[in-house]
Amino acid sequence: MSPAFDAHHPPDPALVADCVHCGFCLPACPTYVLWGRETDSPRGRIAMIKGGLENETDLTDRIARHFDTCLGCMACVTACPSGVQYDKLLAAARPQVERRVDRPVTDRLFRRLIFSLFPYPHRLRVASLALWAYQKLGVQRLARLTRLLNLLPPRLRAMEALMPPISLRRAWAEAPRLAPAVGKRRRRVGLLLGCVQRVFFEEVNAATIRVLTAEGCDVIIPASQGCCGALMFHAGMEDDAIGAARRFIDVFESEASDVDTIVINSAGCGSTLKEYGHLLRDDPRYAERARLLSAKCKDISEFLTELEPRTTRHPVPMQVAYHDACHLQHAQGIAREPRQVLATIPGLKVHEVPEAGICCGSAGIYNLVEPNTAKDLGKRKAQHIESTGADALVSSNPGCLLQIAGCLEEAGTPKRTFHMIELVDASIKGESP
């Protein structure tokens, strides 16, 4: 039997040994909740890693499949009383899968499509032209009414279903290089624009800039910033993630070296940026630079809770359900801060969602590569949100909002969706969101 893992950063046996098999992770794991299979639980996946390290198990297609079905939500990390670092184990296992397991050709081609498009805003903008025409010329409506979409493979159907309404004005909008503070300057911060977000959710970035400047922050927005590497990192594409991280560091060092904080409004990006020190630990040129940049990174909710509100908040009379994005709640340990920020808005009633710690099924590209599982989780989340009686859905991650909005619409209970910062922006402006 050949070794399951190669010599380049295999999973750490000491981290494996931390698991005492207590089972507290099981009810927190989305795939275990759905299927009830030990092999699709954190404990089961750790057992497979242990078997591989001890040369008792090969990294076969069947074994790799159990790592592919993991959402990487890290709810198990939050639930574990023994402090097992499943995040580190998964981050080590997935690159091994990518290097050592030959995926079916259709799987490889679909993943290549995703990773040749999503991390590149310029390519996404070109694609937005065709998507805009598809929506505005009635082709989408016709395709859905006639069920022509059923002829597509499940993954392409999932991609089409998740498509947000396309605005060319927003898709091609350019953020300013500098947005100066309103009134006396209190802080000087950088802003991550994101890849998919800057094209399809430009309004979230615009709201973030307005809130930060209103609160006395100069906002520096490096014009040449690209992908932070989050999608690749979470998929186990280590070399691609490292390359993206190096480029990101270079850009922020050259164009925003004097900022005291890098503000992030996308949970998946934030969790990756905070892991730069670990990702680049072997690089003598970048290891320390990565650590220093990570130390500057804060989610927008973290930042705003540290910054005493200076602007008046006007009432926003709404009832909203708040959804915890997994890469914010579990990967970054941030749950209290978004609720604190929302609590500063008069008239806003925030409802807690049952099973708040269970993933909605978005999970980076998971809802594209595992559409059936993602749909099951999305339906489950939509039902829980509907049970709150809230008028709208609020979260801190655009991918989650897209995923849940689609499931709510399919269930016949559509709701308005907002990034948390959009409600803060509306409150400051005194306008209805």
User: What pLDDT, on the 0 to 100 scale, is given for residue 2?
Assistant: 62
Report the CATH number of the 176-305 domain: 1.20.1050
Binned at pLDDT 50, 70 and 90, residue 403 comes out as: very high
- How much is the average pLDDT of 67-87? 96
pLDDT tens string 305-360 = 999 899 999 999 999 999 999 999 999 999 999 999 999 999 999 999 999 999 99
User: What pLDDT, on the 0 to 100 scale, is given for residue 299?
Assistant: 98
Share of the chain above pLDDT 90, in %: 92
Binned at pLDDT 50, 70 and 90, residue 149 comes out as: confident
Q: Taking all residues of the chain, what is their mean pLDDT, rounded to a whole number?
A: 95
User: What pLDDT, on the 0 to 100 scale, is given for residue 106?
Assistant: 92
SS3 content of the chain, % helix, strand, coil (to 5): 55, 10, 40
pLDDT tens string 176-222 = 999 999 999 999 999 999 999 999 999 999 999 999 999 999 999 99
Is the model's pLDDT at 1 over the cut of 70?
no
Q: Where are the domains of the chain?
A: 13-100, 106-170, 176-305, 312-429
- How much is the average pLDDT of 216-242? 95
Helix (H) or strand (E) holding 76: helix 75-79
Is the model's pLDDT at 300 over the cut of 90?
yes
Query: Residue 251 to residues 122, 227, 255, 289, 335: CA-CA distances in angstroms?
Result: 17, 11, 6, 12, 30
Q: Which two tokens stand for residue 125?
A: 């903008």
CATH class of the domain whose range is 312-429: alpha beta
User: What pLDDT, on the 0 to 100 scale, is given for residue 308?
Assistant: 87
Q: Are 341 and 423 spatial neighbours (Cβ–Cβ below 8 Å)?
A: no
Is the model's pLDDT at 19 over the cut of 90?
yes
Architecture of domain 13-100: Orthogonal Bundle (1.10)
